[in-house]
Amino acid sequence: MSNVQENQQENPVIVGLDIGTTKIAAIAGRKNKYGKLEILGFGKSDSSGVNHGMVLNIEECIRSIAVALEECRASNPNLTIKEVYVGIAGHHIKSLQTRGDRILANIEEEIRREDIEALIKDQFKTFIPQGDQIIDIIPQDFTVDALAGLTVQEVIGMTGIKIGANFHIVTGDKTAIRNIHRCVTRSNLTVKDLVLQPLASAAAVMCPEDFESGVAIVDIGGGTTDLAVFHEGMLKHTAVIPIAGVNITNDIRQGLGVLRTQAELMKVQFGMALADHAQSNAFITIPGLKGQQPKEISAKNLASIIQARMEEILEYVVYHLNQLNLLDKLHGGIILTGGGSQLKHLMQLTEFKTGLPTRIGFPNEHLAAGYRKELMMPMYATCIGLILRGFDDYENNRLKFTSNNKEEHFERKNELQDQKESKEETDTVELSAEDILKETFGDTSASTTLQVNEPSSEPTITSNFPSNSLFDIVDPTISQNEQKEIRAEKTERRKVLIKNVFGSVKNKVLYWFENVDDEKLDQ
Protein backbone atom coordinates (compact mmCIF):
# COMPACT_ATOMS: atom_id res chain seq x y z
CA MET A 1 0.00 0.00 0.00
CA SER A 2 1.39 3.41 -0.93
CA ASN A 3 2.20 6.07 1.66
CA VAL A 4 -0.47 8.26 0.11
CA GLN A 5 -3.14 5.63 0.63
CA GLU A 6 -2.01 4.93 4.19
CA ASN A 7 -2.20 8.62 4.98
CA GLN A 8 -5.68 8.87 3.48
CA GLN A 9 -7.00 5.92 5.47
CA GLU A 10 -5.46 7.07 8.74
CA ASN A 11 -7.30 10.38 8.67
CA PRO A 12 -10.91 10.13 9.86
CA VAL A 13 -14.00 11.16 7.94
CA ILE A 14 -15.50 14.27 9.56
CA VAL A 15 -19.04 15.42 8.80
CA GLY A 16 -20.33 18.94 9.38
CA LEU A 17 -24.07 19.54 9.73
CA ASP A 18 -25.25 23.13 9.33
CA ILE A 19 -28.86 23.49 10.48
CA GLY A 20 -29.90 26.88 9.14
CA THR A 21 -33.11 28.82 8.73
CA THR A 22 -33.23 28.50 4.94
CA LYS A 23 -31.07 25.44 4.25
CA ILE A 24 -29.57 22.38 5.90
CA ALA A 25 -26.20 21.26 4.59
CA ALA A 26 -24.22 18.09 5.31
CA ILE A 27 -20.63 17.86 4.08
CA ALA A 28 -18.21 14.98 4.67
CA GLY A 29 -14.48 15.56 4.34
CA ARG A 30 -11.09 13.98 4.93
CA LYS A 31 -7.69 15.67 4.97
CA ASN A 32 -5.22 14.63 2.30
CA LYS A 33 -1.44 14.46 2.64
CA TYR A 34 -1.18 18.20 2.00
CA GLY A 35 -3.46 19.03 4.92
CA LYS A 36 -6.35 20.09 2.68
CA LEU A 37 -9.92 18.84 2.77
CA GLU A 38 -11.10 16.34 0.19
CA ILE A 39 -14.88 16.51 0.00
CA LEU A 40 -16.24 12.97 0.12
CA GLY A 41 -19.94 13.75 0.22
CA PHE A 42 -22.27 16.74 -0.02
CA GLY A 43 -25.99 17.12 0.49
CA LYS A 44 -28.39 19.96 1.15
CA SER A 45 -32.08 20.53 1.59
CA ASP A 46 -34.50 23.36 2.18
CA SER A 47 -34.85 23.95 5.89
CA SER A 48 -38.20 23.54 7.58
CA GLY A 49 -39.11 23.98 11.22
CA VAL A 50 -36.24 26.39 11.91
CA ASN A 51 -36.71 30.11 12.49
CA HIS A 52 -33.88 32.59 13.13
CA GLY A 53 -31.53 29.71 13.85
CA MET A 54 -33.77 28.04 16.44
CA VAL A 55 -35.57 24.72 15.98
CA LEU A 56 -39.29 25.32 16.49
CA ASN A 57 -40.78 22.20 14.88
CA ILE A 58 -38.68 19.13 15.62
CA GLU A 59 -40.47 16.75 13.25
CA GLU A 60 -40.14 19.08 10.26
CA CYS A 61 -36.48 19.71 11.05
CA ILE A 62 -35.81 15.96 11.25
CA ARG A 63 -37.35 15.48 7.79
CA SER A 64 -35.13 18.25 6.38
CA ILE A 65 -32.03 16.70 7.96
CA ALA A 66 -32.98 13.32 6.49
CA VAL A 67 -33.16 14.81 2.97
CA ALA A 68 -29.74 16.45 3.31
CA LEU A 69 -28.18 13.24 4.67
CA GLU A 70 -29.78 11.12 1.96
CA GLU A 71 -28.38 13.42 -0.70
CA CYS A 72 -24.96 13.35 0.97
CA ARG A 73 -24.92 9.56 1.04
CA ALA A 74 -26.20 9.42 -2.54
CA SER A 75 -23.24 11.52 -3.67
CA ASN A 76 -20.94 8.81 -2.27
CA PRO A 77 -22.62 5.40 -1.73
CA ASN A 78 -19.51 4.13 0.10
CA LEU A 79 -19.97 6.74 2.84
CA THR A 80 -21.18 5.76 6.31
CA ILE A 81 -22.28 8.70 8.50
CA LYS A 82 -22.86 8.07 12.18
CA GLU A 83 -21.69 11.24 13.92
CA VAL A 84 -21.60 14.92 13.04
CA TYR A 85 -20.30 18.28 14.18
CA VAL A 86 -23.26 20.63 14.48
CA GLY A 87 -23.32 24.42 14.33
CA ILE A 88 -25.43 26.46 16.70
CA ALA A 89 -26.66 30.04 16.36
CA GLY A 90 -29.91 31.90 17.02
CA HIS A 91 -30.88 35.05 18.88
CA HIS A 92 -30.77 33.12 22.16
CA ILE A 93 -26.96 32.99 21.95
CA LYS A 94 -25.22 35.37 24.35
CA SER A 95 -21.61 35.95 25.31
CA LEU A 96 -19.85 37.43 28.33
CA GLN A 97 -16.33 38.07 29.55
CA THR A 98 -15.09 36.68 32.83
CA ARG A 99 -11.87 36.32 34.78
CA GLY A 100 -10.62 33.22 36.59
CA ASP A 101 -7.64 32.53 38.86
CA ARG A 102 -6.32 29.39 40.50
CA ILE A 103 -3.63 28.82 43.11
CA LEU A 104 -1.30 26.00 42.14
CA ALA A 105 -1.11 23.03 44.52
CA ASN A 106 2.64 22.58 44.16
CA ILE A 107 4.63 25.66 43.19
CA GLU A 108 7.75 23.55 42.63
CA GLU A 109 6.19 21.69 39.72
CA GLU A 110 5.74 22.95 36.19
CA ILE A 111 2.31 24.09 35.07
CA ARG A 112 0.57 21.23 33.26
CA ARG A 113 -2.29 21.09 30.81
CA GLU A 114 -4.38 19.55 33.59
CA ASP A 115 -3.98 22.78 35.60
CA ILE A 116 -5.34 24.82 32.72
CA GLU A 117 -8.23 22.41 32.23
CA ALA A 118 -9.09 22.75 35.92
CA LEU A 119 -9.05 26.55 35.56
CA ILE A 120 -11.42 26.31 32.59
CA LYS A 121 -13.71 23.90 34.41
CA ASP A 122 -14.00 26.39 37.27
CA GLN A 123 -15.68 28.79 34.82
CA PHE A 124 -18.68 26.47 34.56
CA LYS A 125 -19.59 27.84 38.00
CA THR A 126 -20.06 31.32 36.49
CA PHE A 127 -23.51 32.73 37.18
CA ILE A 128 -25.71 32.81 34.11
CA PRO A 129 -29.46 33.53 33.83
CA GLN A 130 -31.81 30.71 34.71
CA GLY A 131 -32.78 28.69 31.66
CA ASP A 132 -29.47 29.30 29.92
CA GLN A 133 -26.60 26.88 29.58
CA ILE A 134 -22.92 27.33 28.83
CA ILE A 135 -22.05 26.25 25.30
CA ASP A 136 -18.34 26.97 25.23
CA ILE A 137 -15.62 28.57 27.32
CA ILE A 138 -12.83 30.05 25.24
CA PRO A 139 -9.64 31.14 27.03
CA GLN A 140 -8.10 34.36 25.77
CA ASP A 141 -4.90 35.54 27.45
CA PHE A 142 -3.28 33.93 30.51
CA THR A 143 -1.30 35.25 33.44
CA VAL A 144 1.25 33.54 35.68
CA ASP A 145 1.84 35.57 38.82
CA ALA A 146 2.80 39.05 37.51
CA LEU A 147 3.37 37.97 33.92
CA ALA A 148 0.41 38.79 31.64
CA GLY A 149 -0.57 38.34 28.01
CA LEU A 150 0.58 34.72 27.77
CA THR A 151 -0.78 32.01 25.49
CA VAL A 152 -1.65 28.44 26.46
CA GLN A 153 1.53 27.15 24.85
CA GLU A 154 3.65 29.64 26.79
CA VAL A 155 1.99 28.87 30.14
CA ILE A 156 2.52 25.10 29.97
CA GLY A 157 5.95 24.35 31.42
CA MET A 158 6.26 27.58 33.45
CA THR A 159 6.39 27.71 37.24
CA GLY A 160 4.53 30.04 39.55
CA ILE A 161 2.12 30.43 42.43
CA LYS A 162 -1.06 31.51 40.64
CA ILE A 163 -2.36 31.17 37.11
CA GLY A 164 -5.26 33.15 35.70
CA ALA A 165 -6.97 33.89 32.42
CA ASN A 166 -9.61 35.99 30.75
CA PHE A 167 -12.40 33.92 29.26
CA HIS A 168 -15.02 34.40 26.58
CA ILE A 169 -18.09 32.43 27.67
CA VAL A 170 -20.84 31.59 25.19
CA THR A 171 -24.27 30.70 26.55
CA GLY A 172 -27.53 29.60 24.98
CA ASP A 173 -31.06 28.67 25.89
CA LYS A 174 -31.30 25.12 27.28
CA THR A 175 -34.44 24.35 25.33
CA ALA A 176 -32.89 25.50 22.05
CA ILE A 177 -29.80 23.36 22.69
CA ARG A 178 -31.96 20.39 23.64
CA ASN A 179 -34.07 20.73 20.48
CA ILE A 180 -31.00 20.68 18.22
CA HIS A 181 -29.69 17.64 20.07
CA ARG A 182 -33.02 15.84 19.75
CA CYS A 183 -33.26 16.55 16.02
CA VAL A 184 -29.80 15.08 15.41
CA THR A 185 -30.19 12.03 17.66
CA ARG A 186 -33.61 11.21 16.18
CA SER A 187 -31.91 11.27 12.79
CA ASN A 188 -29.85 8.29 14.02
CA LEU A 189 -26.74 10.42 14.44
CA THR A 190 -24.45 11.24 17.34
CA VAL A 191 -23.53 14.84 18.10
CA LYS A 192 -19.74 14.80 18.23
CA ASP A 193 -19.55 18.45 19.23
CA LEU A 194 -21.65 21.59 19.22
CA VAL A 195 -19.81 24.54 17.66
CA LEU A 196 -20.68 28.22 17.65
CA GLN A 197 -21.37 29.11 14.01
CA PRO A 198 -19.44 32.43 13.99
CA LEU A 199 -16.28 30.54 14.97
CA ALA A 200 -16.86 27.85 12.36
CA SER A 201 -17.29 30.47 9.63
CA ALA A 202 -14.20 32.32 10.83
CA ALA A 203 -12.07 29.18 10.68
CA ALA A 204 -13.13 28.57 7.08
CA VAL A 205 -12.43 32.04 5.66
CA MET A 206 -9.57 33.49 7.74
CA CYS A 207 -5.83 33.37 7.11
CA PRO A 208 -3.00 33.93 9.63
CA GLU A 209 -2.59 37.53 8.51
CA ASP A 210 -6.23 38.21 9.42
CA PHE A 211 -5.75 36.70 12.85
CA GLU A 212 -2.74 38.91 13.51
CA SER A 213 -4.05 42.19 12.08
CA GLY A 214 -7.54 41.93 13.56
CA VAL A 215 -10.78 41.30 11.67
CA ALA A 216 -14.52 41.08 12.15
CA ILE A 217 -16.21 38.07 10.54
CA VAL A 218 -19.79 38.93 9.51
CA ASP A 219 -21.69 35.80 8.44
CA ILE A 220 -25.00 36.87 6.90
CA GLY A 221 -27.14 33.76 6.86
CA GLY A 222 -30.81 33.11 6.29
CA GLY A 223 -32.11 33.68 9.82
CA THR A 224 -29.25 35.31 11.71
CA THR A 225 -26.13 37.36 11.15
CA ASP A 226 -23.22 35.94 13.14
CA LEU A 227 -20.36 38.15 14.29
CA ALA A 228 -16.90 37.11 15.51
CA VAL A 229 -14.24 39.72 16.30
CA PHE A 230 -10.53 38.88 16.52
CA HIS A 231 -7.87 41.31 17.76
CA GLU A 232 -4.28 40.90 18.92
CA GLY A 233 -4.30 37.21 18.11
CA MET A 234 -7.35 36.26 20.16
CA LEU A 235 -11.12 36.09 20.03
CA LYS A 236 -12.51 39.27 21.54
CA HIS A 237 -16.24 39.02 20.97
CA THR A 238 -19.03 36.95 19.45
CA ALA A 239 -22.62 37.95 18.82
CA VAL A 240 -25.68 36.74 16.96
CA ILE A 241 -27.78 39.44 15.29
CA PRO A 242 -31.37 38.20 14.70
CA ILE A 243 -31.67 39.91 11.30
CA ALA A 244 -30.58 38.33 8.02
CA GLY A 245 -31.70 37.15 4.59
CA VAL A 246 -35.21 36.07 5.63
CA ASN A 247 -35.93 39.58 6.87
CA ILE A 248 -34.86 41.03 3.52
CA THR A 249 -37.16 38.60 1.70
CA ASN A 250 -40.08 39.54 3.97
CA ASP A 251 -39.40 43.25 3.42
CA ILE A 252 -39.52 42.72 -0.36
CA ARG A 253 -42.69 40.65 -0.10
CA GLN A 254 -44.50 43.23 1.99
CA GLY A 255 -43.06 46.34 0.37
CA LEU A 256 -43.69 45.28 -3.22
CA GLY A 257 -46.78 43.11 -2.72
CA VAL A 258 -45.38 39.92 -4.23
CA LEU A 259 -45.31 36.26 -3.21
CA ARG A 260 -42.56 35.00 -0.94
CA THR A 261 -41.04 32.82 -3.66
CA GLN A 262 -41.05 35.78 -6.05
CA ALA A 263 -39.43 37.99 -3.41
CA GLU A 264 -36.67 35.44 -2.81
CA LEU A 265 -36.07 35.01 -6.53
CA MET A 266 -35.85 38.77 -7.08
CA LYS A 267 -33.41 39.12 -4.20
CA VAL A 268 -31.14 36.41 -5.56
CA GLN A 269 -31.29 37.38 -9.22
CA PHE A 270 -31.56 41.15 -9.20
CA GLY A 271 -30.90 42.31 -5.65
CA MET A 272 -28.22 44.86 -4.83
CA ALA A 273 -27.28 46.68 -1.64
CA LEU A 274 -26.89 50.18 -3.10
CA ALA A 275 -29.97 51.86 -4.55
CA ASP A 276 -27.88 54.55 -6.24
CA HIS A 277 -26.38 51.89 -8.51
CA ALA A 278 -29.78 50.64 -9.68
CA GLN A 279 -31.06 52.03 -12.98
CA SER A 280 -34.19 54.10 -12.59
CA ASN A 281 -35.56 52.90 -15.96
CA ALA A 282 -35.11 49.17 -15.19
CA PHE A 283 -38.17 47.14 -14.24
CA ILE A 284 -38.74 43.53 -13.24
CA THR A 285 -41.86 41.89 -14.67
CA ILE A 286 -43.73 39.63 -12.25
CA PRO A 287 -46.36 37.25 -13.72
CA GLY A 288 -49.79 38.17 -12.40
CA LEU A 289 -52.05 35.85 -10.45
CA LYS A 290 -54.93 34.17 -12.23
CA GLY A 291 -56.83 36.73 -14.25
CA GLN A 292 -54.50 39.59 -13.33
CA GLN A 293 -52.08 41.58 -15.43
CA PRO A 294 -48.31 41.17 -14.91
CA LYS A 295 -46.83 43.54 -12.36
CA GLU A 296 -43.79 45.69 -13.02
CA ILE A 297 -41.39 46.26 -10.14
CA SER A 298 -38.83 49.05 -10.20
CA ALA A 299 -35.30 47.72 -9.75
CA LYS A 300 -34.48 50.89 -7.83
CA ASN A 301 -37.31 50.30 -5.34
CA LEU A 302 -36.07 46.72 -4.88
CA ALA A 303 -32.55 47.96 -4.15
CA SER A 304 -33.85 50.61 -1.72
CA ILE A 305 -35.65 47.97 0.34
CA ILE A 306 -32.59 45.73 0.45
CA GLN A 307 -30.25 48.62 1.31
CA ALA A 308 -32.41 49.74 4.24
CA ARG A 309 -32.29 46.31 5.86
CA MET A 310 -28.58 45.81 5.16
CA GLU A 311 -27.82 49.17 6.74
CA GLU A 312 -29.67 48.04 9.86
CA ILE A 313 -27.51 44.89 10.06
CA LEU A 314 -24.34 46.94 9.61
CA GLU A 315 -25.45 49.38 12.32
CA TYR A 316 -25.54 46.43 14.73
CA VAL A 317 -22.03 45.45 13.64
CA VAL A 318 -20.76 49.00 14.21
CA TYR A 319 -22.47 49.08 17.61
CA HIS A 320 -20.69 45.92 18.75
CA LEU A 321 -17.31 47.17 17.49
CA ASN A 322 -17.82 50.51 19.26
CA GLN A 323 -18.68 48.70 22.49
CA LEU A 324 -15.33 46.92 22.20
CA ASN A 325 -13.54 50.14 21.22
CA LEU A 326 -12.15 48.31 18.19
CA LEU A 327 -13.79 50.09 15.26
CA ASP A 328 -10.54 51.86 14.32
CA LYS A 329 -8.21 49.03 15.40
CA LEU A 330 -9.20 46.22 13.06
CA HIS A 331 -6.56 46.70 10.38
CA GLY A 332 -7.74 43.55 8.59
CA GLY A 333 -11.19 45.07 8.22
CA ILE A 334 -14.37 43.08 7.75
CA ILE A 335 -14.80 39.69 6.09
CA LEU A 336 -18.31 39.11 4.77
CA THR A 337 -19.45 35.54 4.33
CA GLY A 338 -22.66 33.52 4.30
CA GLY A 339 -25.33 33.49 1.61
CA GLY A 340 -26.26 37.14 2.19
CA SER A 341 -22.73 38.30 1.39
CA GLN A 342 -23.37 37.63 -2.31
CA LEU A 343 -25.52 40.72 -2.72
CA LYS A 344 -24.08 43.02 -5.34
CA HIS A 345 -22.38 46.18 -4.00
CA LEU A 346 -22.55 44.93 -0.40
CA MET A 347 -18.80 45.38 0.04
CA GLN A 348 -19.07 49.04 -0.96
CA LEU A 349 -21.99 49.61 1.41
CA THR A 350 -20.10 47.92 4.26
CA GLU A 351 -17.01 50.03 3.71
CA PHE A 352 -19.15 53.19 3.63
CA LYS A 353 -21.06 52.36 6.83
CA THR A 354 -18.11 51.05 8.86
CA GLY A 355 -15.11 52.85 7.38
CA LEU A 356 -13.25 49.52 7.31
CA PRO A 357 -11.80 47.65 4.31
CA THR A 358 -14.06 44.79 3.33
CA ARG A 359 -13.79 41.59 1.34
CA ILE A 360 -15.89 38.48 0.71
CA GLY A 361 -14.69 35.38 2.56
CA PHE A 362 -14.74 32.18 0.51
CA PRO A 363 -14.03 28.78 2.12
CA ASN A 364 -11.72 27.70 -0.72
CA GLU A 365 -8.50 28.16 1.23
CA HIS A 366 -8.76 24.80 2.97
CA LEU A 367 -10.26 22.75 0.12
CA ALA A 368 -8.36 20.33 -2.08
CA ALA A 369 -8.80 20.30 -5.85
CA GLY A 370 -11.65 18.49 -7.53
CA TYR A 371 -14.57 19.59 -5.35
CA ARG A 372 -17.84 20.97 -6.66
CA LYS A 373 -17.75 24.66 -7.50
CA GLU A 374 -20.87 25.17 -5.41
CA LEU A 375 -18.95 24.38 -2.23
CA MET A 376 -16.79 27.47 -2.75
CA MET A 377 -19.80 29.70 -2.15
CA PRO A 378 -19.79 31.69 1.11
CA MET A 379 -23.02 30.03 2.24
CA TYR A 380 -21.06 26.82 2.98
CA ALA A 381 -18.36 28.49 5.08
CA THR A 382 -19.99 27.35 8.34
CA CYS A 383 -20.20 23.71 7.25
CA ILE A 384 -16.56 23.68 6.08
CA GLY A 385 -15.58 25.26 9.38
CA LEU A 386 -17.35 22.51 11.31
CA ILE A 387 -15.19 19.92 9.53
CA LEU A 388 -12.08 21.94 10.38
CA ARG A 389 -13.15 21.93 14.03
CA GLY A 390 -13.38 18.16 13.89
CA PHE A 391 -9.86 17.83 12.54
CA ASP A 392 -8.62 20.26 15.18
CA ASP A 393 -10.04 17.91 17.81
CA TYR A 394 -8.52 14.90 16.04
CA GLU A 395 -5.04 16.38 15.60
CA ASN A 396 -4.92 17.46 19.24
CA ASN A 397 -6.51 14.21 20.47
CA ARG A 398 -9.19 16.28 22.12
CA LEU A 399 -12.21 14.56 23.65
CA LYS A 400 -10.27 11.26 23.30
CA PHE A 401 -11.06 11.52 19.61
CA THR A 402 -12.50 8.54 17.75
CA SER A 403 -14.53 8.58 14.56
CA ASN A 404 -17.31 6.19 13.58
CA ASN A 405 -17.76 7.67 10.11
CA LYS A 406 -16.30 5.59 7.30
CA GLU A 407 -15.74 5.50 3.58
CA GLU A 408 -15.66 1.89 2.45
CA HIS A 409 -13.47 0.57 -0.38
CA PHE A 410 -11.36 3.71 -0.53
CA GLU A 411 -8.79 3.21 -3.26
CA ARG A 412 -6.50 5.44 -5.23
CA LYS A 413 -7.57 5.00 -8.82
CA ASN A 414 -4.13 5.44 -10.37
CA GLU A 415 -0.95 7.47 -10.30
CA LEU A 416 -2.62 10.28 -12.20
CA GLN A 417 -4.68 11.04 -9.09
CA ASP A 418 -1.49 11.53 -7.08
CA GLN A 419 -0.17 13.85 -9.77
CA LYS A 420 -3.39 15.83 -9.60
CA GLU A 421 -3.03 16.22 -5.82
CA SER A 422 0.55 17.40 -6.23
CA LYS A 423 -0.50 19.91 -8.85
CA GLU A 424 -3.29 21.34 -6.73
CA GLU A 425 -0.78 23.06 -4.47
CA THR A 426 0.67 25.01 -7.40
CA ASP A 427 -2.59 25.93 -9.11
CA THR A 428 -4.64 28.99 -8.26
CA VAL A 429 -8.39 28.59 -8.39
CA GLU A 430 -9.87 31.40 -10.46
CA LEU A 431 -13.65 31.16 -10.82
CA SER A 432 -16.11 33.97 -11.20
CA ALA A 433 -18.92 34.29 -8.70
CA GLU A 434 -21.31 34.55 -11.64
CA ASP A 435 -20.35 31.06 -12.83
CA ILE A 436 -21.01 29.60 -9.40
CA LEU A 437 -24.30 31.42 -9.02
CA LYS A 438 -25.40 30.01 -12.39
CA GLU A 439 -24.47 26.50 -11.31
CA THR A 440 -26.55 26.84 -8.15
CA PHE A 441 -29.54 28.88 -9.27
CA GLY A 442 -29.45 28.21 -13.01
CA ASP A 443 -29.05 30.74 -15.80
CA THR A 444 -30.82 33.78 -14.38
CA SER A 445 -30.85 35.57 -17.70
CA ALA A 446 -33.15 32.89 -19.14
CA SER A 447 -35.57 32.80 -16.21
CA THR A 448 -39.18 32.15 -17.18
CA THR A 449 -40.49 33.49 -13.87
CA LEU A 450 -38.90 36.94 -13.87
CA GLN A 451 -37.87 39.17 -16.71
CA VAL A 452 -35.89 42.41 -16.84
CA ASN A 453 -36.98 44.90 -19.46
CA GLU A 454 -33.61 46.62 -19.66
CA PRO A 455 -30.77 44.21 -20.51
CA SER A 456 -28.24 46.56 -18.94
CA SER A 457 -29.95 46.18 -15.57
CA GLU A 458 -29.11 42.49 -15.28
CA PRO A 459 -26.82 41.86 -12.31
CA THR A 460 -23.18 41.20 -13.09
CA ILE A 461 -20.58 40.14 -10.57
CA THR A 462 -17.11 41.35 -11.43
CA SER A 463 -15.14 40.24 -8.38
CA ASN A 464 -13.12 37.02 -8.61
CA PHE A 465 -12.39 34.54 -5.89
CA PRO A 466 -9.15 35.42 -4.08
CA SER A 467 -6.19 33.33 -5.08
CA ASN A 468 -4.92 32.98 -1.50
CA SER A 469 -1.39 32.96 -2.86
CA LEU A 470 0.01 32.45 0.63
CA PHE A 471 -1.29 28.89 0.57
CA ASP A 472 -1.89 27.90 -3.03
CA ILE A 473 1.09 29.06 -5.09
CA VAL A 474 4.42 27.27 -5.02
CA ASP A 475 7.21 28.45 -7.31
CA PRO A 476 7.64 25.64 -9.89
CA THR A 477 11.32 26.59 -10.41
CA ILE A 478 12.45 25.45 -6.96
CA SER A 479 13.34 21.87 -6.11
CA GLN A 480 10.78 19.25 -5.05
CA ASN A 481 12.27 19.03 -1.56
CA GLU A 482 11.93 22.77 -1.11
CA GLN A 483 8.35 22.59 -2.37
CA LYS A 484 7.59 19.88 0.19
CA GLU A 485 9.02 22.06 2.96
CA ILE A 486 6.92 25.02 1.84
CA ARG A 487 3.77 22.88 1.72
CA ALA A 488 4.53 21.48 5.18
CA GLU A 489 4.93 25.02 6.53
CA LYS A 490 1.64 26.09 4.97
CA THR A 491 -0.13 23.07 6.43
CA GLU A 492 1.24 23.80 9.89
CA ARG A 493 0.20 27.45 9.67
CA ARG A 494 -3.32 26.39 8.79
CA LYS A 495 -3.42 24.06 11.79
CA VAL A 496 -2.21 26.81 14.13
CA LEU A 497 -4.80 29.21 12.74
CA ILE A 498 -7.68 26.76 13.32
CA LYS A 499 -6.44 26.03 16.84
CA ASN A 500 -6.24 29.74 17.64
CA VAL A 501 -9.70 30.48 16.25
CA PHE A 502 -11.43 27.90 18.41
CA GLY A 503 -9.06 28.43 21.34
CA SER A 504 -10.31 25.39 23.23
CA VAL A 505 -8.25 22.88 25.22
CA LYS A 506 -11.06 20.71 26.57
CA ASN A 507 -10.58 16.97 26.23
CA LYS A 508 -13.43 15.55 28.26
CA VAL A 509 -17.15 14.98 27.80
CA LEU A 510 -19.34 17.70 26.34
CA TYR A 511 -20.57 19.59 29.37
CA TRP A 512 -23.48 21.23 27.57
CA PHE A 513 -25.15 17.87 26.92
CA GLU A 514 -24.91 16.54 30.46
CA ASN A 515 -28.46 17.66 31.28
CA VAL A 516 -29.99 16.46 28.03
CA ASP A 517 -32.23 13.43 28.49
CA ASP A 518 -33.88 12.58 25.19
CA GLU A 519 -35.65 9.47 26.49
CA LYS A 520 -37.34 11.50 29.19
CA LEU A 521 -38.29 14.24 26.74
CA ASP A 522 -39.76 11.74 24.28
CA GLN A 523 -42.21 10.27 26.76
CA distances from 53 to 24, 128, 218, 249, 513 (A): 11, 21, 16, 16, 19
Q: Is the pLDDT of residue 457 over 70?
A: no
Position 302 scores a pLDDT of: 95
Domains 94-173 and 208-363+431-464 share a fold: no
What is the spatial distance between Cα 178 and Cα 515, in angstroms, rounded to a whole number? 9
Position 194 scores a pLDDT of: 87
For residue range 403-440, list pLDDT tens digits in order.
Answer: 778 777 544 443 444 444 444 444 434 344 444 444 43
Is 504 buried (19+), middle (13-18) or exposed (0-12) by CB count in 10 A?
buried
What is the spatial distance between Cα 189 and Cα 518, in angstroms, rounded to a whole number? 13
Neighbours of 441 (CB within 10 A): 12
CA distances from 128 to 38, 170, 235, 394 (A): 40, 10, 21, 31
Q: What is the mean pLDDT of residues 193-215?
A: 90
What is the spatial distance between Cα 335 and Cα 81, in angstroms, rounded to a whole number? 32
277 contacts: CB under 8 Å, gap ≥ 6: 303, 344, 345
Q: What pTM value is reported for the model?
A: 0.81
Bridge partner residues of 164 (DSSP): 101, 143
- How much of the chain is helix, strand and coil, in % rounded to 5? 40, 25, 35
For residue 222, which of 378, 435, 437 has the smallest C-alpha distance?
A: 378
For residue 15, which of 63, 89, 64, 71 has the smallest C-alpha distance?
A: 71
Binning pLDDT at 50, 70 and 90, where does residue 49 land?
very high
- Quote the DSSP letter at residue 458: S
Q: Could you tell me the residue ranges of all domains in the chain?
A: 94-173, 208-363+431-464
The CATH number assigned to the domain with range 208-363+431-464 reads: 3.30.420.40
Position 416 scores a pLDDT of: 41
Neighbours of 159 (CB within 10 A): 13
What is the spatial distance between Cα 500 and Cα 502, in angstroms, rounded to a whole number? 6
Q: What is the mean pLDDT of residues 260-279?
A: 92
Contact 92, 173 (CB under 8 A): yes
Position 243 scores a pLDDT of: 92
For residue range 106-156, list pLDDT tens digits in order.
Answer: 888 899 888 888 898 899 888 988 889 888 888 888 999 989 988 888 898
Position 337 scores a pLDDT of: 95
What is the spatial distance between Cα 38 and Cα 368, in angstroms, rounded to a whole number? 5
Binning pLDDT at 50, 70 and 90, where does residue 487 land?
confident
Q: Phi first, then psi: what are they for 101, rounded to 5°?
A: -135, 155
What is the spatial distance between Cα 369 and Cα 387, in angstroms, rounded to a whole number? 17
What is the spatial distance between Cα 479 and Cα 110, in angstroms, rounded to a whole number? 43
CA distances from 84 to 53, 67, 195, 293, 509 (A): 18, 15, 11, 50, 15
Ranking 107-121, 385-399, 468-482 by mean pLDDT, the lowest is 468-482
What is the spatial distance between Cα 214 and Cα 521, in angstroms, rounded to a whole number? 43
Fold designation for 94-173: Dna Ligase; domain 1 (3.30.1490)
Q: What is the mean pLDDT of residues 64-83?
A: 93
Q: What is the mean pLDDT of residues 84-111?
A: 89
